[in-house]
Each structure stands twice: as structure tokens, then as C-alpha cells.
């Protein structure tokens, strides 16, 4: 087995482990995990849980038709969330702290920082943060969509060094082990590429929403940011015995860089782009080689209807070279593209800044 060390881990637990029957919380697969969490904390380590299961837990309490409406599913989540938290709390003699997030919370820089500070304080006060998507209010455009990627975002915002994804299979295989008896476990992944994604199948159970692909997506977000990621079988008690001994009884995705600063992580992984700015070769050279801000004079085309403060892709000759926060909306950038910075005020009648995207609000790819 691979050996690994860690100090602050995010552990993602899916519905298939929390509510294996699909309609209520169960402790069947959670006792060994709870012992691992307690032992890790006693060893001075920090743990954050990302837990699915609220909708499954509420399903037995809300009698609905087969095709539930959004409001009915949100009612199930609201009722089931307390049941899920109570299910976790019964395993521990220290407090569990509920943290409910939407994708919108993660995209907003102020709320992102508040989440980081809240998680830090919960850990300082020796409580166990239990993070879940806020399904009671989130609609599709506000949802992360699966708790594998929510686990990755949580690891990023919490500045963890490890993400442990508890699944119902042992890790990443050369093929689907449920269908192919010759499939073998891949103990280590050095780099996530198209070949690794090609090994991903569909969702493994009818309870959860995440399959192997979302687990690889989560691993890619984390490993590129210096966070090692493990996929292990959460249904086996011996899994957590091995983890306590520092061994990986599954697949270890190795971190391939040192952790970046929090703002860079937020820009890179969390914000969705609202438009595109095309630039010329001179502007590209200034960004890449000189670490400069993007000036209006280097902009050639604007695509999309973004507002001031929205994230945009910066493209040169068809290649995305950067992502950043625009200091002007698309309409105004159309008017000042190709112009000198000194001409912004005369063209627009006002001047927010003498650059289109400041270097501090930009990440180069």
C-alpha cells in the first residue's frame, strides 16, 4: 500500500454509505469512520466532513408522488438535514457543526472568506464541521451538483492538505470491477489526464449523484492545488484501520504542486466565467512575461454580456491564457478596447481604473 501523512483532511461521505437503503440514515457503515475521526482528532489532526444524505433521510418522512417537484425535494432536504446531523452526532461526544453551502456562496469572494474563517473557528473550538449543499434553497444554477466536487471546494477553502473520498468500491480500477472480473485497482495516480478520465464510468448507485468521473474531477481540482486525494471503500471497516496506520487501501492521487494562495485557488477553481476577452500578442507577452495587468489597448474583441466584477476568460489566438475579474462591464469594454488608458475617462465619461483586469485579480494558465 501507499504511505501518506496528513494534518487537516476533508472526508467526503456519500448517500450510499449514509442512507444505504435510500430512505433513511443508517449507522451500518459509519461506525468505523467515526472511530477513525475520533482517533485522528486525539492524535492532533483536524477533520472536516462533507456529508450527503439529507434528501435520502427526509424521503421516509415526506410522502410524495414519484416525480417530486423542486419544492418537494427541498422540503425533504430541510426535514432530512436535521435527521442526518442527529445521525452523525450520536457517534461523537464532541459537538458537530452544520455548515450549509451553495455554489453562489463559493463564487462570492466575501462569502468565500467568511466560510474559510468559520471553518477555522469551528476547528479551533474542537467541533466537527459537517458540510453539505444547501438543497433547501439551491436551484440548479446555484448548485455545485455533487458532493465529490463540494468536497474538493471545501478542501480548497479550508486549506486542507488531504481529501478522502469514501466510496462503495476500493478505488479507481482499470475497468468497472462490477462488470469486468479482470479489472485491477490502480494504487497511485501521478497525473490526471484523458486516460484517467477514460476509466470513469457512470454513477454506481441509485442513491447518490456522483460517479467515478466526479471523483476524478474533485481529485484534479485538489491535486493541482497541492492537496493529495484518496478514493477508498467506506463500507469496509479495515479501510479506516489502514488509514490510521498511514496506509492507503485504495487509490492515491498525488499532489503535483505546492498549495497556492487562497485568492488564486478561488479564482482558478470556483468562479464560473461570464464572458471572454480576446487580446493581441503584445498584451499576451505583457501578461505572461512581465506579470502586467491587462490594459484596454491590448483588447481586440469582447464576447458575452458580463458585468463589472464578473470573471472572464482571457484568450489569445484561440488559446485561453488567463482568467480574471473584469473592472468594466462588457458594454464599456467594447467602447474602450484598443484605446490608451489615458483615454478611458473621455470615452466613457468616468474612470473606474486604468486597467481592464488588474494583475492581482488574474490567474495565468
Under a CB-based contact definition with an 8 Å cutoff, are residues 204 and 16 in contact? Answer: yes
Under a CB-based contact definition with an 8 Å cutoff, are residues 255 and 223 in contact? Answer: yes
How many whole angstroms separate alpha carbon 255 and alpha carbon 223? Answer: 4
Q: In the prediction, which pLDDT does 204 show?
A: 45
Using alpha carbons only, give the angle 174, 180, 186 rounded to the nearest 5 degrees: 20
How many whole angstroms separate alpha carbon 1 and alpha carbon 232? Answer: 12
pLDDT: is 34 or 69 the higher one?
34
Q: Specify the range with the lowest mean pLDDT, choosing from 70-79, 198-207, 273-282, 318-327.
A: 198-207
Taking the CA atoms of residue 22, residue 26, residue 32 and residue 33 in that order, the dihedral angle to the nearest 10 degrees is 60
Under a CB-based contact definition with an 8 Å cutoff, are residues 127 and 94 in contact? Answer: yes
**Considering the chain, what percentage of its residues have pLDDT values greater than 90?**
55
Q: In the prediction, which pLDDT does 207 show?
A: 35
Give me the residue label for grid cell 454509505: 17
288-310 tens-digit pLDDT? 999 899 999 999 999 999 988 88
Mean pLDDT of 164-176: 91
Q: In the prediction, which pLDDT does 66 show?
A: 67
Alpha carbon distances (Å) from 172 to 13, 84, 190, 196:
17, 28, 13, 9
Q: In the prediction, which pLDDT does 360 show?
A: 79
Q: In the prediction, which pLDDT does 139 show?
A: 59
Mean pLDDT of 170-177: 89
Task: State yes or no: pLDDT of 208 exceeds 50.
Answer: no
How many whole angstroms separate alpha carbon 33 and alpha carbon 211? Answer: 21
Q: In the prediction, which pLDDT does 203 show?
A: 44
Q: In the prediction, which pLDDT does 140 show?
A: 58
Alpha carbon distances (Å) from 324 to 69, 70, 267, 286:
37, 34, 7, 15
Task: State yes or no: pLDDT of 3 exceeds 90.
Answer: no
The overall average pLDDT reported for the chain is 87
Q: In the prediction, which pLDDT does 151 show?
A: 94
Q: In the prediction, which pLDDT does 117 show?
A: 87
Mean pLDDT of 11-38: 86
Task: Please list the helix, strand and coil fractions of the chain in percent, rounded to the nearest 5, in that order.
Answer: 40, 20, 40
Mean pLDDT of 19-27: 74
Q: In the prediction, which pLDDT does 334 show?
A: 95
Q: In the prediction, which pLDDT does 352 show?
A: 78
What is the phi-psi region of residue 362: left when phi exceeds 0, alpha when psi lies from -120 to 50, beta otherwise? beta
How many whole angstroms separate alpha carbon 87 and alpha carbon 96? Answer: 10
Report DSSP letters for 152-216, one per residue: HHHHHHTT-SEEEEEESSSS-BSS-TTT-TT--B--EES---HHHHHT--SBSSSS-S-BHHHHH
236-268 tens-digit pLDDT? 999 999 999 999 999 999 998 665 666 677 777
Q: Which residues pair with 364 in a beta bridge?
A: 322
Q: Would strands 96-101 and 162-167 be described as parallel, antiparallel, or unpaired? A: unpaired
pTM: 0.77
- 10 Å CB burial of residue 89 (0-12, 13-18, 19+) is middle
In 3D space, the residue among 25, 50, 61, 240 whose CA is nearest the CA of residue 146 turns out to be 50
pLDDT: is 325 or 59 the higher one?
325
Task: Give the up-direction half-sphere exposure of residue 242: CA atoms within 13 A in the CB hemisphere.
Answer: 18
Q: In the prediction, which pLDDT does 209 show?
A: 36
35-92 tens-digit pLDDT? 999 999 999 999 999 998 787 777 777 777 667 777 877 888 888 889 889 999 999 9
Alpha carbon distances (Å) from 138 to 112, 355, 361:
17, 35, 27
Amino acid at each position: 500500500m501507499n504511505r501518506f501523512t496528513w494534518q487537516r483532511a476533508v472526508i467526503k461521505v456519500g448517500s450510499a454509505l449514509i442512507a444505504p437503503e435510500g430512505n433513511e440514515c443508517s449507522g451500518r457503515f459509519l461506525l468505523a469512520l467515526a472511530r477513525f475521526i475520533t482517533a485522528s482528532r486525539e492524535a492532533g489532526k483536524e477533520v472536516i466532513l462533507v456529508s450527503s444524505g439529507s434528501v435520502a433521510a427526509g424521503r421516509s418522512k415526506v410522502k410524495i408522488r414519484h416525480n417530486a417537484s423542486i419544492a418537494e425535494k427541498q422540503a425533504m432536504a430541510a426535514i432530512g438535514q436535521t435527521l442526518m446531523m442527529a445521525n452523525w452526532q450520536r457517534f461523537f461526544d464532541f459537538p458537530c457543526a452544520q455548515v450549509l453551502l451553495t455554489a453562489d456562496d463559493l463564487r462570492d469572494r466575501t462569502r468565500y472568506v467568511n466560510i474559510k474563517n468559520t471553518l477555522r473557528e469551528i476547528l479551533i473550538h474542537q467541533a466537527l464541521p459537517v458540510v453539505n449543499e444547501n438543497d433547501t434553497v439551491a436551484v440548479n444554477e446555484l448548485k455545485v451538483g455533487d458532493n465529490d466536487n463540494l468536497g474538493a471546494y471545501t478542501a480548497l477553502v479550508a486549506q486542507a492538505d488531504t481529501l478522502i473520498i469514501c466510496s462503495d468500491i476500493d478505488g479507481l480500477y482499470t475497468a468497472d470491477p462490477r462488470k469486468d472480473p479482470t479489472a485491477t485497482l490502480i494504487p497511485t495516480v501521478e497525473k490526471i489526464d484523458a486516460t484517467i478520465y477514460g476509466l470513469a464510468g457512470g454513477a454506481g448507485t441509485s442513491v447518490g449523484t456522483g460517479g467515478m468521473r466526479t471523483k476524478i474531477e474533485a481529485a484534479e481540482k485538489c491535486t493541482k492545488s497541492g492537496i493529495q486525494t484518496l478514493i477508498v471503500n467506506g463500507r469496509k471497516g479495515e479501510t479506516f484501520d489502514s488509514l490510521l496506520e498511514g496506509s492507503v487501501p485504495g487509490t492515491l492521487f498525488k499532489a503535483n504542486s505546492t498549495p497556492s494562495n487562497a485568492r488564486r485557488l478561488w479564482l482558478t477553481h470556483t468562479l464560473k466565467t461570464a464572458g471572454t476577452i480576446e487580446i493581441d500578442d503584445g498584451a499576451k507577452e505583457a501578461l505572461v512575461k512581465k506579470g502586467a495587468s491587462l490594459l484596454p489597448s491590448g483588447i481586440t474583441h469582447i464576447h458575452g454580456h458580463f458585468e463589472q466584477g464578473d470573471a472572464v476568460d482571457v484568450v489569445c489566438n484561440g488559446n485561453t491564457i488567463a482568467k480574471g475579474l473584469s473592472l468594466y462591464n462588457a458594454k464599456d469594454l467594447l467602447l474602450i478596447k484598443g484605446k490608451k488608458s489615458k483615454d478611458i475617462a473621455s470615452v466613457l465619461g468616468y474612470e473606474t481604473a486604468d486597467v481592464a483586469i488588474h494583475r492581482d485579480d488574474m490567474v495565468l494558465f
